[in-house]
Structure 1
Amino acid sequence: MSITSLAAVPSVHRACPVFRGRIGQDARSGHYAVPHRYRLHLSTACPDGLRLAVGHSLLGLDAGCPVTVLPAVPDCPGGGHAALRPLYEASAHHYTGPALAPVLSDDWSGRIVSTEARDILRDLDRFPHEGGAALYPSGQESVIEAVEAMCDAIEEAAQCAGRAGTGPVERAAALDALFDTLGRLESRLTEEEYLVDDRLTAADVELWVTLVQLDMVHRCHLDASAVHRIAAHRALWVYAGRLAARPAFGRHLDLEGISRRHHGRCQGLEAAGAAVQILDWAGRAADTEDASRR
């Protein structure tokens, strides 16, 4: 499988107020990678928040960039988190919209640097961190971007296939697109342990969170036949389970929170596939906790 040959896929990320400041490599950028200046605010029940939590752990940034964990379900009317309201109001004049997560904030100014998860993770990768391993290894950026596009395609196809009101022809086309993308990833992971450069990278974080969402959220709106076909991609789910058993991944799994967030936002109808969970995520998380105690 050639990952890099894939065409870009339009982003399916949330529609929200976007702050896209970037952390540069020196003081001329305005924001530069210095320990103890920045703070992450996220909910691990949210896919973007889960990606950032995993990446943050892999980089070993607990001391240099602390994390504030937010509730699974936003606590403000109309969405958003009350704890983030002061940051939004300080960052946008007369701001009245929802105070959404994730957020990377600047403790020096009390303002938001960015709300764009992929930019944030790339910038965190510039921080000095334990072990020195990069999530975005030099020369592999285009490959990682292609995996991001594939993950967006999975999300978009699964949403379309499970959406109430989707016609049979449109649903069939969405499922074809879903199985095609899963099949290409399956082929890659049948031959390799990781997606890029034979090592753990941001591409693996992206795909792992996408598989969590596919099983814990989108599965609930697909018929049993579709779920069985998804589960038949054995290499993908062995890979997902293997990563879930690593502390940097598994300890951030908030399965109850994901379910609560899903039911709080979802307007689709539950389908037969809801009863056929693909992976025992709770068991994997328990294995992680046991391993961390030893």
Structure 2
Amino acid sequence: MSSTPLAAVPSVHRAAPVFRGRIGRDARSGHYAVAHRYRLHLSTAGPDGLRLAVGHDVLGLGDSCPVTLLPAVPDGPGGGHAALRPLYEASAHHYTGPALAPVLSDDWSGRIVSTRAREILRDLDRFPHEGRAVLYPCGQESVIEAVEGMCDDIGEAAQRAGQAGGDPDGRAAALDVLLDTLSRLERRLAGEEYLVDDRLTAADVELWVTLVQLDTVHRCHLDASAVHRIAGHRALWAWARRLAARPAFGRHLDLDGISRRHHGRCQGLEAAGAAVQILDWATHAVGAEDASRR
């Protein structure tokens, strides 16, 4: 029996509710995995949206769980999306905050199920399937969670290392954390095609999206020396390049959208590392050029 809560319960965080409904395995869960009931609303210009778009494609859920693509740069108040406002207003009484993406909605009720990207991806993995990929194979959950934590460390350390002004020692320490985490992941990938269990899992999706962010967003605020040291993890970037060539990954890579979103949100100063591209994503990513025109 599923222990999934019966309803999406919003909790308030920075004026925006976080919906954490879960999709269970049967009707007793309230939200259960059934085709054509749910819809994803996302922008692939953001890391959460890109993570979900790739995972959704890997799972082959295009017919059973449609996706509504949102603009790269939010067009609603407070950094939200105007198209999502009816869903938020239907799901939270007297809601006045930003309508943030991504969202998993229930077309039967017209309400939000969840706004938590990693939980949404886990629930999409529960949809009925025949012979398709499994992003969270049984027995590997703790390993995948460890990779998720390392990806969080990369993002946080890259942000701290690229902060203008402040404490130089703190920036140097953050860069050490970033490089150490990349080195540990590189060692894990040594001679391996995937991170976990010799097959593509959510861990690969997580790390690939993290490396995309590192090269297309965080790199812009690092000095050239730091970027060269990051690029020195050759096995890691070769792995990222191989995945980018897969349609389920590369065709969702909206390079222009990522750039516009970044410049629309970021108040930091550009550094010398902006001129040192690690990967030529537009060349290696299948369909990236078409996606950038959206």
Structure 1 counterpart SS, 2:113: strand
Aligned length: 278
Q: Which residue does 1:7 correspond to in 2?
A: none
- Give me the TM-score of the superposition, normalised by structure 1: 0.92
Amino acid at match of 1:280: D
1:6-21 equivalences in 2 (<5 Å): 16-21=16-21
CA distance in 2, matches of 1:207, 1:14: 27
Partner of 1:6: none
Q: List structure 1 segments (4+ residues) > 6 angstroms apart after TM superposition.
A: 287-290
Match of 1:179 in 2: 179
Conserved? CA contact 2:85–2:99, under 8 Å:
yes
Given the alignment of the two structures, is residue 54 of structure 1 paired with residue 57 of structure 2, yes or no? Answer: no
Which residue does 1:251 correspond to in 2?
A: 251
CA contact under 8 A between 2:246 and 2:286: conserved in structure 1? Answer: no
Q: Is contact 2:253-2:288 (8 Å) kept? A: no
Normalised by the length of structure 2, the TM-score is 0.92
Asked if 1:147 corresponds to 2:119, the answer is no
Question: Is 1:159 matched with 2:166?
Answer: no
Name the CA shift for 1:159/1:197 in 2 (closer, same or farther; >3 Å): same
Give distance in 2, aligned partners of 1:179 and 1:15: 35
RMSD over aligned CA atoms reads 1.7
Map of 2:197 onto structure 1: 197
* Counterpart AA for 2:40: L
**For residues 119 and 231 of structure 1, do their structure 2 counterparts lie closer, same or farther at Cα, with a shift above 3 Å needed?**
same
SS of aligned partner of 2:182: helix
CA distance in 2 between partners of 1:152 and 1:130 (Å): 32
Distance between the aligned counterparts of 1:45 and 1:190, measured in 2? 30
How far apart, CA to CA, are the structure 1 residues paired with 2:203 and 2:58?
Answer: 13
Residue 242 of structure 2 corresponds to: 242
CA deviation string 1:84-111 (max 9, x = no partner): 0000000000000000000000000000
Further displaced range: 76-85 or 249-258: 76-85
Between 261-270 and 156-165, report the one with greater CA deviation: 156-165
Assess if the C-alpha contact under 8 Å between 2:247 and 2:286 holds in 1.
no
Change (3 A) 1:286 1:25: closer
Any unmatched runs of 5+ in structure 1? 1-12
Structure-2 residue corresponding to 1:277: 277
Paired residues of 1:44 and 1:253 also in contact (CA < 8 A)? yes
Alpha-carbon separation, structure 1, partners of 2:245 and 2:191: 20
Question: Does structure 2 retain, via aligned residues, the 8 Å contact 1:247–1:289?
Answer: no
Please give the alpha-carbon distance, in whole angstroms, between the structure 2 residues aligned to 1:234 and 1:244. 15
Task: Give 1:15 deviation, angstroms.
Answer: 8.6
Structure with higher RCO (Cα < 8 A, 6+ apart): 1
Cα distance change, pair 256–219 in 1 and its aligned pair in 2 (3 A): same
Contact 1:60 / 1:130 at 8 angstroms: preserved in 2? Answer: no
- Alpha-carbon deviation of 1:132? 2.9
C-alpha contact (below 8 Å) 1:122/1:136 kept by paired residues: yes
Alignment-derived partner of residue 5 in structure 2: none
Structure 1 residue aligned with 2:262: 262
Residue aligned with 1:17, SS: strand
Query: CA 1:276/1:130 → structure 2, altered by over 3 Å: closer, same or farther?
Result: farther
| 1:137 lines up with 2:137 in the alignment | yes
Partner residue in 2 for 1:45: 45
The change in CA–CA distance for 1:222 and 1:130 in structure 2 (over 3 A counts) is farther
* Paired AA for residue 145 in structure 2: E
Q: Which residue of 2 aligns with 1:67?
A: 67
Task: State which drifts further: 227-236 or 164-173.
Answer: 164-173
Preserved contact between residue 60 and residue 132 of structure 2 (Cα < 8 Å): no
Task: Report % sequence identity.
Answer: 85
Report if the CA contact (8 A) 1:55-1:121 is conserved.
Answer: yes
Tell me the equivalent position of 1:222. Answer: 222
* Residue type of the alignment partner of 1:84: L
Residue 190 of structure 2: SS of its match in structure 1? helix
